[in-house]
Amino acid sequence: MAANRRTAHRTLVLAMSRPSFRVAALLSAVSVGLTGCLSPVAGPSGLYAHPIGDAPVTANGTPYSAALVCLASYAQHYGVHAPRIAVGRIADYTGKAEDNGGREITQGASLMAISALAKAGVPLVERYDTSVSEMELKYANNKLISDQPQAGGPAGAAGPYRKILAGQIPGSDFYLVGGVTELNYNIRSTGLDIAGGKQTATKGSGEATGQLYVMNVALDLRLVETKTQEVVDVQSYQKQIIGRQIGAGFFKFFGTNVIDISAGEGGLEPVQLAVRSVIERAMVEMVANLYGAPGPSACMGTDPLGATGVSGGFTPAYDNLDRNNGQTRDDPSRWNAGRDPAVRGRY
């Protein structure tokens, strides 16, 4: 028996000395180490593992968010009577889809527009998702909803049913519709690959690469006067998006050993944040027209930028041609918190 055990032990040692078995043993050791970070049994907190990352929640702004807030202050300061606006469908008309079947462009452009209008202090009425209010109205019409508990009655007893009153829902003065109409890949790209080394691989060789590429998104929006269905404002804006990728590598033989090292870094400007930026820029221009604000000079005593033309089919909503922003819409620096000094202050 002892001889058999010694023979088996010698066979195992010889087998483990083979390269394939050494690799297998190394992989097994790594797998055992990794399983130490994750348990199939939930801990006292009820979790198998704690999620990584500790970044706090931050505001999701764009370079035009400050201008929207400034317009809200402008309207409050001058007592501007802001019209009520409803946001309709702002759809994705690009038709672009990812390989896994998802859409390339956010389907929440309407929600972005609602947030932008709220930043600008515009009164909003809900028309985008009315499923809950329609159900409430249906229940109220059948006398199934009560707003107040019955006085002196048992807990949970119903009071008088909710009345449906004529004119109880405020209407909109304007509504906003439109869509994301362009997503263009690789408008322009550039790259550089450099490789060098000796004629023999034992002397080593290195490689460096770098690429830049540009794409864009575009948006078309229109503001419609609710009662007459007249289109009073049209916006068409685009924003370019840049991406980059750089990398370097080194390869060399050291006798019977090989070293191969590579590293890289890349990034793409967020596409959906670009959509939000385009929407906020369009909302700045539309709200400035509705408020009668004279462009970025509403946030400062003087306007440092000159007129550069009109973007889209612009029709003033009110009689304010002498002071509105109709002639300043095409300047790409206008209303941008990082490019237009006027929006860094306050009227």
SS (H, E, C) 39-56: CCCCCCCCCCCCCCCCCC
Range in 21-35, 181-195, 257-271, 324-338 the model is least confident about: 21-35
Q: Which amino acid is at 235?
A: Q
Pairing of strands 174-197, 85-92: parallel
pTM for this one? 0.73
Per-residue CA distances from 153 to 63, 94, 124, 163 (Å): 56, 59, 38, 21
Tokens of 28: 């097994």
Q: What confidence category does residue 341 fall into, taking pLDDT thresholds of 50, 70 and 90?
A: confident
Summarize pLDDT for 297-312 with one digit per residue, the tens.
776 543 333 333 333 3
**DSSP for residue 313:** S
Helix (H) or strand (E) holding 26: helix 19-35
Q: What sign does the dihedral 246-250-251-257 (CA atoms) show?
A: negative
C-alpha triplet 238, 244, 246: angle, nearest 5°: 175
Per-residue CA distances from 57 to 64, 106, 155, 267 (Å): 20, 20, 41, 21
Summarize pLDDT for 43-85 with one digit per residue, the tens.
888 888 888 888 888 888 898 888 888 888 888 888 888 899 9
Among 291, 285, 290, which Cα is nearest to 329's? 285
* Higher pLDDT pick, 252 / 110: 110
Mean pLDDT of the chain: 79
Q: Is the pLDDT of residue 343 over 60?
A: yes
pLDDT for the residue 186: 86
Contacts (Cβ under 8 Å, ≥6 apart) of 176: 85, 86, 87, 88, 90, 113, 117, 221, 222, 223, 224, 286
Task: Please answer whether residues 39 and 30 qualify as being in contact, where contact means their C-beta atoms are separated by less than 8 angstroms.
Answer: no
Q: Is the pLDDT of residue 93 over 90?
A: yes
Summarize pLDDT for 157-189 with one digit per residue, the tens.
556 888 888 989 999 999 999 999 999 998 998
Structural domains for the chain: 65-125+170-184+217-241+270-344 (3.40.50)
Tokens 């807990």 found at: 155
Q: How far apart are CA 277 and CA 7, in angstroms?
A: 74
